[in-house]
């Protein structure tokens, strides 16, 4: 029995009808559990930290993503081949 079966955690999203099926979910690890602060100032501090981390990710992505530039910012070869519109938004 141990070779053909294993215990899993599962969940069902819809009770009946099309799409009603069970799917596996992973149980949370002890490391994944976060204590939710009860104090308002502590909660806002955590929100501020999360926002700062998210903003850092946005800034890093903006640096590595090709932006629509002025005509004088474009490499002459890119200008000649008209590739700038196709490169906008790419890393």
**pLDDT per residue as tens digits for the range 12-38:** 888 888 878 888 888 767 665 667 777
Instruction: Tally Cβ neighbours within 10 Å of residue 42.
Output: 12
How would you label 52-81 residue by residue, b for 16+ Cβ within 10 Å and e otherwise?
eeeeeeeeeeeeeeeeeeeeeeeeeeeeee
CA distance 79 to 72: 9
Supply the pTM of this predicted model.
0.36
CA distance 84 to 77: 10
* Residue extents of the structural domains in the chain: 9-87
Residue 72 pLDDT > 60, yes or no?
A: no
């Amino acid at each position: 029995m141990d070779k053909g079966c294993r215990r899993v955690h599962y969940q069902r999203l819809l009770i009946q009808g099309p799409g009603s099926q069970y799917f596996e979910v992973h149980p949370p690890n002890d490391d994944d559990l976060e204590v939710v602060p009860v104090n308002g100032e502590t909660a806002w501090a955590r929100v501020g930290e999360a926002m700062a981390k998210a903003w850092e990710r946005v800034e890093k992505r903006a640096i590595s993503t090709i932006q629509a530039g002025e005509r004088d910012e474009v490499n002459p070869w890119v200008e000649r081949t008209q590739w700038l519109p196709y490169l906008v938004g790419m890393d």
